[in-house]
Amino acid sequence: MPSHTVADLLRGLAAGDFSSEEITRQYLNDIEQRDGHYNSFISVTAEQALNQARAADAARANGEAGSLNGLPIAHKDIFCTEGVRTSCASKMLDNFIAPYSATVVEKMAAAGAVMLGKTNLDEFAMGSSNETSFYGAVRNPWNRDKVPGGSSGGSAAAVAAGLAPAATGTDTGGSIRQPAALCGLTGLKPTYGRVSRYGMIAFASSLDQAGPMARTAEDCALLLKSMAGFDAKDSTCMDVPVPDYHAALDQDLRGLKIGVPKEYFSAGLDSAIGDAVHAALDEYRKLGAEIVDITLPHTELAVPCYYVIAPAEASTNLSRFDGVRYGYRCENPQDLDDLYTRTRDEGFGEEVKRRILVGTYALSAGFYDAYYRKAQQIRRLIKNDFTEAFKQVDLIAGPTAPNPAFGLGEKVSDPVTMYLEDIYTIAVNLAGLPALSMPVGLTNGLPAGMQLIGRDFDEGRLLAAAHQYQQVSDWHLRRAPDCE
């Protein structure tokens, strides 16, 4: 089962080679037997999954199959799921049972997808290694002593280990693309507003975006078609037509211009990853694409800009967790001030508290103009860099992460070094653009990822470019040693 892609499984289900109930039971059995090695799931919804699988089989028998009918998937535990715990990997929400489902969850269920369970993540999606989870760190299937990346590390590890053919993730500063790179997957961060954020518990509202994580670009195309679309319940969701991404995968790449920013190949980049990206660009040349040197001059400002804006928005979004309405509450509070103070101190982990403090400081009366307003001005400069670049090229390419997966515990005590793990991905979120990471090599037995960045709502071109590369390479088919 681990060798099956989403596309393979959907073809097999349509042909009657197996039933949804059969493959769902297999995945549930694999999770039970093997997830102890990876800690990729927080909750497994076995009974619900089997019921959904039987319903999918019945729908197919009646000629009513949806586009993902019978496909087992996993959801990052930041998406509300009615009647199922939605924890955000935090003690604060360890006892929270969502009373409704996120739009992404509803749309995929309507397409016939079967939910295997909820995957682990960095607490409230704050982290780049999946080590800040209240439920413990996630381990990378390529090497269990390494991190899977974050914050969507549980989703990445589950797919890389063959415990699910695909999973949802969220990306605020690289949290789909970076774990996809570290775990040898294809992961897509759509344009801001392409996918509804309703029911996706907010970290930084102007940056968060949901997207798919799977083996291949073809898989991501199939998943995005079901995830995307306008939602009146989300005021940031754009009313833009959703194309048939799968039908457009065979676009000819002759004449496609791919820009390569000089800023993405700096001294901080692992040389082996740089070599892998350049080798992939050589393949694009063979496919008829033109490689163009470009510059994104404000790249170095992306990380400090992000770590003002994102904590500021997190400070506001997480103010609702006060022990009054839902979630964790401290024991025997002496008064309201004690209730607020101890609930938040005991309920949040260290990284979440660090970002709340930074964000609150940046928004405070004496510092708003010096920090938050200035960061928003820099954000506009970063967006302008991309606008100018896309006057010359169709896509932008570079490394996804500066190095392969690093050791568990290696960077936990140095937050600034950890923040630099997202140095190539953060600018995309600040600009609201779509971007995709795909595997392009191995370095010391660990996956290397390349990032492709596109214009607003140009996910189809991104997916087609990745798919064409995957037709002439096999890095996306390589399996973690645990899964061979």
Q: What is the DSSP string of 152-169?
A: THHHHHHHHTTS-SEEEE
Determine how many CB atoms are found less than 10 A away from the CB of residue 155. 40
Would you say 108 and 92 are in contact if contact means Cβ atoms under 8 Å apart?
Answer: no
Q: Are strands 435-443 and 186-189 parallel, antiparallel or unpaired?
A: antiparallel
Instruction: Kindly report the backbone phi and psi dihedral angles of residue 43, in degrees, each rounded to the nearest multiple of 5, phi listed first.
Output: -130, 135
- The residues that are catalytic are 76, 151, 175
Count CA within 13 A, CB hemisphere, residue 96. 27
Strand stretches in 21-134, DSSP E: 41-44, 72-76, 114-119
- Residue 453's DSSP bridge partners are 396, 435
**DSSP character string of 239-262:** ------TTTTTT---TT-EEEEEG
DSSP 191: P
Q: Which residue has the tokens 């065979």?
A: 250
Residues 396/452, Cβ–Cβ less than 8 Å: yes
SS3 content of the chain, % helix, strand, coil (to 5): 45, 15, 40
